[in-house]
Structure 1
Amino acid sequence: MPRSRPRALRAEHPIHPVWGPVPPTRIHGLSAGTSLAIHRAERRGGSWFVHPGATDQALRRYRAFLSPPGNRPLYPAEAACSCGCCSFDDVRHARDVLEEILRDLPPRARGELGRALRPLDAEFLRRTLPDPFTHRRAWRTEFWWYRRLARASASG
């Protein structure tokens, strides 16, 4: 019986990628391995706001909020709508998504994303003001980015 060529054997068993029909795009500022780990965590994420592409969107929003030059204070604003698209208008929600995906990553990818977030967090702390009335708020959060002064919502 003649021997089958390796190419013929591989053609019989096509390899299906783990990410689906379209390979994930690389997240700006992160390695390809970390981007792939983030994409995998997003696909298996059990949260309403963590979906494929959410980390890239949140990271871009966080960088855009901190991008205006100067030393003037920045005030996060609440999103007008709480749907998945509009919720990223609130930079604090974008930071929530980044924190959630950070918890779901393997150690090496978590370290790289954490190193990318560290200077952004330092800039956020430098450019925003502490909220002196945090202790009086009806809701309390463990996240430090909600303890900064924010612009009042138009609806409230």
Structure 2
Amino acid sequence: MPRRRPGAIRATQRVAVRQWARDGGPLDRLSPATAAAVRATEHGGRLGPRPRDLAGYDPDPFHEHVRPGHAASFLVQYRKFLRQPGARLRLEASLCPACPGCQYDDLAVARDALEAVTRLLPPPARAELRRLLTRLDRELRLRTLPDSTPKARWTGEPLPWWHRRIYRN
């Protein structure tokens, strides 16, 4: 049986990525290939090795935050929060943090979900999404104040910096 050339295999993979990108539309100023990779990851496809960054921090060990369409809504929520008027912003805690839908009212939990999606992406898409998140994080650091009380998981390990900001409630 004849073997397929590597170029032919790559061409079919690019067509699949283009199909994902075409079906979903743009995703918050990301390239079509990265948007397609995010959508494929959300639909359960693991597209690359898991990175070893953030000192082993995995905000979503069971991948409960990675669901179809969530990354786009989390990016919209992040930008909407940063568009609020005023020099200093305060995060708002969710009224029902145990509820699967209401927990995302807290921007820190939505940022955890974006981190979980980022960690599952292949390297080129991960780098592009990481650049976008870095710009948004820089503005979040500038417009929110740090909280001096240490916050940690039940295991004792400290939470990421976006959980250690001052909350309104």
TM interval, shorter chain, is 0.7 to 0.9
1:148 aligns with 2:151: no
**What is the aligned length?**
134
Q: Which AA in structure 1 matches 2:161? A: W
Structure 2: segments with no counterpart, 5+ residues: 1-15, 46-61
**Counterpart-to-counterpart distance in 2, 1:117 and 1:80:** 26
Say what the alpha-carbon RMSD is for the aligned residues. 2.6
TM-score (norm 1): 0.75
Which residue of structure 1 lines up, in the alignment, with residue 7 of structure 2?
Answer: none
Q: Normalising to structure 2: TM-score of the pair? A: 0.69
8 A Cα contact 1:26 1:36, kept in partner: no
The Cα of 1:69 is off from its aligned counterpart by: 3.4
Match of 2:23, SS? coil
Question: Is the 1:49–1:84 contact (alpha carbons within 8 Å) kept by the matching residues of 2?
Answer: no
Measure the CA separation in 2 of the matches of 1:133 and 1:142: 12
Conserved 8 A contact 1:87-1:93: yes
Contact kept, 8 Å, 2:151 with 2:159, in 1: the verdict is no
Residues 137, 83 of structure 1: CA spacing in aligned structure 2 closer, same or farther, 3 A cutoff? closer
User: How many Å separate the matches in 1 of 2:103 and 2:152?
Assistant: 25
Distance 1:143 1:83 in 2: 22
Q: Deviations over 1:10-41 (max 9, x none)?
A: xxxxxxx6889x93232121111000000111
Please tell me the residue identity of whatever aligns with 2:28.
H
Superposition pairs for residues 49-128 of structure 1, below 5 Å?
A: 49-71=65-87, 73-81=88-96, 82-128=98-144
Query: 3-state SS of the aligned residue for 1:122?
Result: helix
Q: Between the two proteins, what is the percent identity of the paired residues? A: 39
Q: 2:47 matched to 1:32?
A: no
